[in-house]
Amino acid sequence: MKTTESKQRPAAEPRRRYDETFKRHAVDLTLQGQRRVTEVARELGVPESMVYAWRRQYAPRPNGSGERPRTLEEAETEISRLRAENVRLQEREIVLKKSLGILSETPGRGMPRSR
């Protein structure tokens, strides 16, 4: 029978949490073009993969998808458009529920007689 000494592992460090300001600052540093992502990650003491994930989350998207309105008027226009779309979707949901109820009714005995 072999006896092995149990090795004491050092206590795991608690997971570090970063606030949104820190993340956005890191993304801004990488987007300036003066330093590479690896350099910024090393300077900030975070893994490279984390900086890339923050870039996907916070970097502006050039194709316009997910872009936030820049002015108050644009935001209000977007809100009114989304509210109208929400009303249309709610109406569509009501119609679909009613049609599902009609289609799921069990028919009476046998086929209806023709006159």
Six-digit token string for 99: 């049609």
- Residue 24, Ramachandran bin (φ over 0: left; ψ between -120 and 50: alpha; else beta): alpha
CA angle 9, 44, 40 (to 5 degrees): 125
pLDDT at 75 (0 to 100): 85
pLDDT in tens, 29-79: 888 878 888 998 999 899 999 999 988 888 876 655 556 667 888 889 989
In DSSP notation, 2-39 reads ---PPPPPPPPPPPP---HHHHHHHHHHHHTSSS-HHH
Percent of the chain with pLDDT over 90: 24
Query: First-to-last CA distance in the chain?
Result: 93
